[in-house]
Amino acid sequence: MKRDINSNGYIFLYSTILVVVVTVLLTTASLWLQPYQQRNKENEKRIKILEAAGVFEDGNIDLIEGKLPLYLVNDSINVVPLHGKGLWGPIWGYLAIAPDGKTVLGANFDHKSETPGLGGEITTEKFQSQFKGKQISSDGKYIPIEFDAITGATKTSNGVKEMIDNTMQQYYQHEP
């Protein structure tokens, strides 16, 4: 008995089977590869934290779980994780602060979908290096960091500023 391959019943059956097969395949692959992908992500995070702190040999990172998360590199440098909004999507980064809590040692930013060449420039060395050595607090109070915005990327630059302001204010309120 030959089936009509253009009948509605056959089309429904065909697409159902196809979708089930594909779903099973993709789920299996995803479950199998997840540990590898997770490891890559953690590795990248580690490198980013060390870069922000300016430590290039293997550094030692500890996560301090308080009210707010804080990374301690080589038992002295504080690295604060930042999360904020860019123009098109989330931006995030790390800010390394000297043991005295007053000066910035370095910063590292990344983004999901900022415009390459404009907002995307926040990942460049040129943009990030201007944070080095900036004063961030006096008498235990946070003072906003001033930095040069990127021409043509006002929204992203403001996003970076807001991200740093919001996060750091909380840190200095709770644990000066």
Partner 1 sequence: MSHKKLLIEPLRKANPVTVLVLGICSCLAVTAQLKPALVMGASVTVVTALSNFIISLLRKGIPNRIRIIVQLVVVATLVILIDQFLKAFAYDVSKRLSVYVGLIITNCIIMGRLEAFALSHGPWESFLDGLGNGLGYSLILVIVAFFRELLGSGTLLGYQIIPQSFYEAGYQNNGLMILPPMALIIIGVIIWINNNKTESK
Residues that bind partner 1 (CB under 8 A): 5-6, 10-11, 14-15, 18-19, 22, 25-26, 29-30, 33, 36-37, 40, 43-44
Could you tell me the smallest distance in angstroms from the CB atom of residue 11 to partner 1?
Answer: 5
- 105-144 burial code (b ≥16 CB/10 A, e <16): bbbbbebeebbeebbbbbbeeebbeebeebebbeeeebee
Torsion, CA 69, CA 44, CA 105, CA 153, rounded to 10: -100
Spatial CA neighbour of 91 closest among 69, 51, 123: 123
Could you tell me the smallest distance in angstroms from the CB atom of residue 87 to partner 1?
Answer: 17
Q: Which is nearer to partner 1, 31 or 138 (CB)?
A: 31
Could you tell me the smallest distance in angstroms from the CB atom of residue 129 to partner 1?
Answer: 21
Q: Which is nearer to partner 1, 14 or 67 (CB)?
A: 14
Q: Which is nearer to partner 1, 21 or 64 (CB)?
A: 21
Token digits of residue 70: 């804080």
d(CA 49, CA 44): 9
d(CA 57, CA 4): 68
Spatial CA neighbour of 23 closest among 11, 31, 33, 13: 31
Could you tell me the smallest distance in angstroms from the CB atom of residue 35 to partner 1?
Answer: 8
Q: Which is nearer to partner 1, 44 or 162 (CB)?
A: 44
Q: Which is nearer to partner 1, 1 or 5 (CB)?
A: 5
Could you tell me the smallest distance in angstroms from the CB atom of residue 85 to partner 1?
Answer: 20
